[in-house]
């Protein structure tokens, strides 16, 4: 849609529902939406497109939403790209948001591009940072580009809504406010939007072979500086003592020292733990893209000039073989 003065009704966050529950990425996006809404002097709406919803939508008022639109129907029990895209387009035409933020999850990555095409506007996928430009009030959508070698900031100056997707854990979970309140709208979905050429004929769950590193509060990650696969054993030991998981940089995965589900970064997983150990990791931007929102970063590197030290809260300069066993022994003494 061409930009004109009618499209001014704030920021719309597309919520993610998994197994009838509001997924945490919804709250992460609401936190960021709230922050940029302050700069745009506008309001934040959250849209929940779902089959059944076991959580209370009011909960989202405590995370920054001022209005929640619930579009619920039995036909949405299983994710349907076609119906979801039509409902979002309908909501955009009805409520005219200026900005749409959505999760870059499997479903978000599937239906958002078709919505952008239906609305004749732009979409920036997998943003790592969002801001508002002084003066123009346009959304600044930053993401890695040209094979991850530069960070590009993209604007959508002529069309609305300005649309961006963001991977889970890219932004921190906002603090929960106790006194949140707002308006809930239960959308009457026009029957024509529920027609689809897609028919779900069955459902099968993937086997649980993937690393659950994304859910851990502590992540102990190793890089090429570990020199060989066996040295990951001490990282597993440290992670286990701390109740955490093991992460890895891309070269260690390429060297088959550890499996891909452990890879952190631009082409791996994005994590946001309370504490992130970067051991023998240089701190390339592609790695930082996957862990820079960790609350505490502890880096162990023998090179005092290693870029990882620029973002580390605790910098331990030395050989990991000297430092990690000392840490393990110390924690064993303290904890056991």
Ligand X SMILES: Cc1cc2nc3c(=O)[nH]c(=O)nc-3n(C[C@H](O)[C@H](O)[C@H](O)COP(=O)(O)OP(=O)(O)OC[C@H]3O[C@@H](n4cnc5c(N)ncnc54)[C@H](O)[C@@H]3O)c2cc1C
Residues annotated within the binding site are 249-250, 263-267, 280-287, 301
Binding residues for FAD: 249-250, 263-267, 280-287, 301
Cα–Cα distance measured from residue 100 to residue 122, given in angstroms and rounded to the nearest whole number: 11
Q: Which of 82, 194, 267, 328 binds ligand X (CB under 6 A)?
A: 267
Cα–Cα distance measured from residue 32 to residue 131, given in angstroms and rounded to the nearest whole number: 9
Q: CA torsion angle for 156, 158, 161, 164 (degrees, to 10)?
A: -10
- Residue 250 sits in the site that holds ligand X (CB under 6 A): yes
Binding to ligand X, residues 138-177 (CB under 6 A) = 147-148
- Residue 309 sits in the site that holds ligand X (CB under 6 A): no
Per DSSP bridges, beta strands 17-18 and 21-22 are antiparallel
Q: Which of 3, 23, 224, 236 binds ligand X (CB under 6 A)?
A: 224
Size of the site for ligand X (CB under 6 A): 28
Cα 10–11–17 angle (5° rounding)?
Answer: 145
Binding to ligand X, residues 54-73 (CB under 6 A) = none
Cα–Cα distance measured from residue 6 to residue 96, given in angstroms and rounded to the nearest whole number: 7
Q: Which of 235, 281, 298, 312 binds ligand X (CB under 6 A)?
A: 281
- Residue 225 sits in the site that holds ligand X (CB under 6 A): yes
Neighbouring residues of 124: CB distance < 8 A, sequence distance ≥ 6: 141, 143, 154, 156, 163, 164, 165
- Residue 301 sits in the site that holds ligand X (CB under 6 A): yes
- Residue 249 sits in the site that holds ligand X (CB under 6 A): yes
- Pull the structure tokens for residue 25: 């990425």
- Pull the structure tokens for residue 246: 């093991």
- Residue 265 sits in the site that holds ligand X (CB under 6 A): yes
**Which residues of the chain form contacts with ligand X (CB under 6 A)?**
147-148, 223-225, 249-251, 263-268, 280-282, 284, 286-287, 290, 300-303, 306, 319-320
């Amino acid at each position: 849609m061409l930009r004109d003065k009618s499209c001014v009704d704030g920021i719309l966050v597309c919520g993610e529902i998994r197994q009838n529950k509001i997924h945490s990425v919804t709250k992460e996006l609401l936190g960021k939406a709230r922050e940029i809404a302050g700069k745009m002097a506008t309001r934040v709406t959250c849209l929940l497109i779902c089959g059944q919803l076991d959580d209370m939508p009011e909960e989202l008022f405590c995370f920054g939403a001022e209005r929640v639109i619930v579009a619920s129907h039995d036909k949405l029990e299983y994710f349907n790209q076609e119906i979801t895209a039509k409902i979002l387009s309908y909501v955009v035409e009805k409520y005219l948001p200026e900005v749409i933020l959505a999760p870059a999850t499997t479903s978000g990555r599937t239906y958002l591009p078709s919505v952008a095409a239906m609305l004749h506007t732009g979409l920036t996928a997998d943003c790592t940072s969002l801001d508002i430009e002084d003066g123009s009030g346009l959304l600044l959508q930053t993401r890695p580009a040209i094979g991850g070698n530069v960070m590009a900031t993209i604007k959508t100056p002529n069309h609305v809504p300005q649309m961006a997707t963001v991977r889970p854990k890219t932004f921190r979970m906002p603090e929960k406010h106790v006194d949140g309140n707002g308006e809930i709208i239960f959308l009457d979905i026009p029957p024509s939007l529920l027609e689809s050429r897609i028919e779900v004929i069955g459902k099968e769950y993937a086997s649980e072979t993937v690393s659950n590193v994304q859910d851990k509060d502590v992540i102990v990650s190793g890089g090429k500086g570990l020199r060989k696969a066996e040295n990951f054993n001490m990282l597993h030991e440290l992670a286990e003592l701390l109740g955490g998981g093991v992460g890895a940089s891309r070269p260690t995965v390429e060297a088959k020292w550890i499996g891909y589900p452990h890879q952190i970064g631009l082409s791996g997983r994005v994590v946001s733990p309370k504490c992130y150990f970067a051991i023998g990791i240089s701190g390339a931007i592609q790695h930082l893209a996957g862990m820079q929102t960790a609350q505490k970063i502890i880096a162990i590197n023998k090179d005092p000039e290693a870029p990882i030290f620029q973002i580390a809260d605790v910098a331990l300069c030395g050989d990991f073989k000297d430092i990690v066993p000392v840490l393990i022994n110390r924690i064993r003494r303290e904890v056991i």
